[in-house]
Amino acid sequence: MEKSMRTIEWKDSYSVGHAGMDQQHKKLVSLLNEFSQALSRGEGKTKLYETLMGLVEYTKKHFKDEEELMASSGFPDLDEHKAIHKQLTNKVINYAVQYNAGELTNTVELLNFLKNWLVDHIQGVDIKYGQYLAKS
């Protein structure tokens, strides 16, 4: 019960219509779920931090790949999307640093932020280049 409450299940409505990006988004969801499950299991701080950083590193790779895809397809709102990526990356790194320093004890807040961040970004922002690719 606890586990299902805390994890995200991939839904078809998260698809941006690009197989490669959907695959990377699925991987992000699975890394987020790993972190969530490690929290539920009561793993130690080092393990949690490692898991969180795994998510951060993959996020950076994903943003880079996605930006390259948008650039190569001539997506007009690339700069705006890149700025959002930068903000999100900074926020997540900030959380990770705070967490590692013991300044962030509210892990539910962190988890909720990550979940909303991922789902809202995919459905609200990524979908726009998906629609653009579908038209072009």
> What stretch of H or E contains 56?
helix 45-72
Considering only residues 34 to 63 of the shown chain, the ones binding ligand FEO according to CB under 6 A are 62-63
**Is residue 121 at the binding interface for ligand FEO, with CB under 6 A as the rule?**
yes
Helices 78-100 and 45-72 pack at an angle, to 10 degrees, of: 170
Residue 28 near residue 59, CB atoms below 8 Å: yes
| Residue least distant from ligand FEO (Cβ) | 126
Closer CB to ligand FEO, residue 8 or residue 125?
A: 125
Nearer to ligand FEO, 48 or 122 (CB): 122
- Contact assessment for residue 81 and residue 125, using Cβ atoms and an 8 Å cutoff: yes
Could you say which of 93, 125, 127, 133 contacts ligand FEO (CB under 6 A)?
125
Q: Are 55 and 27 in contact (CB under 8 A)?
A: no
Give the nearest distance from C-beta 104 to ligand FEO in angstroms. Answer: 24
| Selected binder of ligand FEO within 22, 32, 51, 126 (CB under 6 A) | 126
Going through the chain in order, the beta strands assigned E by DSSP cover none
Give residues in contact with ligand FEO (CB under 6 A): 25, 62-63, 66, 81, 85, 121-122, 125-126
